[in-house]
Amino acid sequence: MVEVEGYKLPDGLLYSKDHMWARMEGDLARVGLTDYGQHIAGKIVFSRMRPKGPVAQGKPVGTIETAKWVGALKSPVTGEIGEANPDLKSQPKLINEDPYGKGWLVTVKPSQLETDKANLMPALQAAEWLREEVSKEKKK
């Protein structure tokens, strides 16, 4: 586990610059919003995930809403969306409370993982990038 300014980046995940993560579980990728991503979004009051079907890396798998903001959640991998987290319909706050556990968003069966990895980072590399992001945010 790597921490940057109190934001967690667990080892063994792949991270995108859209503040998303993917954890490979067999031939499926479980996808979610990072700890820092949920922090900058704020208190999540609603989430909507796309139904099963194709998704490209960087394209939305769903949206989240806060009291002041609606944002797209962009897939870290290309493939087929499988299951959406059923608990998020009644408890979207799980994304804030447990972004790497109970707050996962969808599963995706990757179709070009090796190609997608060129745009993803392991935890240590993601930590370096996140340090810069946090620093930029503090200067605002």
Domain ranges of the chain: 2-112+119-127
The rounded mean pLDDT for the chain is 96
In angstroms, the CA 126 to CA 131 distance is 9
Q: Is 32 helix (H, G, I), strand (E, B) or coil?
A: strand
pLDDT, tens digit, 9 for 90 and up, residues 80-131? 999 999 999 999 999 999 999 999 999 999 999 999 999 999 999 999 999 9
Q: How wide is the angle at C-alpha 46 spanned by C-alphas 4 and 131, nearest 5°?
A: 15
Is the CATH number of domain 2-112+119-127 2.70.150.10?
no
What are the tens digits of pLDDT across the range 7-56?
999 999 999 999 999 999 999 999 999 999 999 999 999 999 999 999 99
